[in-house]
Structure 1
Amino acid sequence: MKPSVEQIGSLLSLKRHERPPEGYMDDFLREFHMRQREEAVKERGFAAVWSRLTGWISEPGMSKWVYGGVVGYAAVMIAVMTGERPIEVEGLSTQPASNAVVIPVQQLEELDLRPNSEGSTGEQEF
């Protein structure tokens, strides 16, 4: 049986003025917390650990898993990037160093040092 619109309106007008007695919510919360404590005391051992673990995993907020994954990935990448790498040493030449200054005469001859040649092609900058 489907109630009519008038019946629903009259029921809502009656219920609008009903209020629970004073202290109802306080008593309800006290009893609820007492039942929770009793259930927690009953669970011991592996069952208690398992229920806590499943409760923690199923809590809202999957972002904790995303943040954990990002932090773990960053830690691994930092370890990889800052880790020591083997140093490759090439064979060094055993020739003695020469103190003689080598002047490339050909390049000096190609330079155009006239004052009016500034900015023209063929100018070289060192």
Structure 2
Amino acid sequence: MDKWVLSLVRFAAWILVAAIVAITLVPIGLRPVVTANPSFERAAAYALAGLLLTLGYPRRWPWILLGVVLLAGGLEAGQMLTGTRHGRFDDFLVKAAAAVAGGIVGLAIASWTARHLQARTSG
């Protein structure tokens, strides 16, 4: 992957992580609603975060997968500290599973890209 593309992917990943943190911990009235199904929104956000982080740091994929699961758990626990939010175990499971799934897809894409670029440069 080109350096500038890698930098862009990493930047997008960290912006998304920051947005997830902010949206998860703001009062419930300030949480943006995109669809009628909040579980879909959670899953999509965490899957995209796992995907982008794994693409941005392909050699660190085990740490990325652990990190996104810890992020989901930590933010669910952090909701208990807010007055208007509450962390739930089933929300954690949705977020963690989506993040890991996104990370695995990101790992597959990164692996395919590396093989494709290597074949192109050696042949």
Whose RCO is larger (CA < 8 A, sep 6+)? 2
**Structure 2 length-normalised TM:** 0.25
Higher normalized helix content (fraction of residues): 2
Structure number with greater Rg is 1
**Structure 1 length-normalised TM:** 0.25
